[in-house]
Amino acid sequence: MSATWYECKVKYRKTDDSGAQKMTTEPYLVDAISYTEAESRINEEMSAYISDEFKITNIRVANYAEIHPFENSDRWFKSKVSLIAFDEESGKERKSNMYLLVQANDVKEAFDNTNQMMNGTMGDYTIPAIAESPIMDVFPYFSGEEGDLEKLERFNTIKDSVPVEPEVEEVIDAAEQVASDNSTTEDESEESSKNFDIQEDTTVYATVGFDEEE
């Protein structure tokens, strides 16, 4: 999605998890053709989320070449990508940097997602730096052109998808299970000895194996 992205800082009164309210300033991204349109768009977008009064404290052009949402991710990361080209005149390599904003759940996932988006790139590249971005949300522009609505809807669907919590299976402690089995066997042996003068040793020893995590 090719666009000029503007970072807009919004100041408003936010309620935290404890129910207390405090003033906070958060950055958001919108794509627009000018500062004026960026201000208009961020006011429109934030009005749908914030019922109280809010203020736009700063608007500046963001230096992101591309924005890439990913499913089941709720954090944004700024990836620095160095494109490597060979200068025939000097005989040396030249590097040019660009920045991507990608969604992920941690730095490693952000690295993998950045590589995924760069797979089709002609030429070599490196990823020298990745850092979590304070960006709270991204609002792409809808031009009204044919096919653009579908792209916008897909972008928002992927962006707004939340991480899926892994199902936690109840695991029975194997050591406790073995101890319980041995205790039962000993009780049975003791009971049997009351009825027989000679009792063959029938104690069963169980071996428990644990799979090592790779």
> What tens-digit pLDDT sequence spans the chain (214 residues)?
456 999 999 999 998 888 888 999 999 999 999 999 999 999 999 999 898 899 999 999 999 999 999 999 989 999 999 999 988 888 888 999 999 999 999 999 999 999 999 998 888 999 999 999 999 999 988 665 656 656 667 777 887 776 655 544 444 444 455 455 555 555 555 544 444 343 333 333 333 333 333 3
How much is the pTM?
0.67
Question: CA-to-CA distance for 21 and 202, rounded, in angstroms?
Answer: 69
Say if residue 146 is exposed, middle or buried (CB neighbours under 10 Å; 0-12, 13-18, 19+): exposed
- Token pair for residue 197? 């003068």
Place of tokens 């591309």: 66
DSSP 8-state secondary structure symbol assigned to residue 33: S
- 140's CB contacts (< 8 A; 6+ apart) are 1, 3, 31, 67, 152, 155, 156
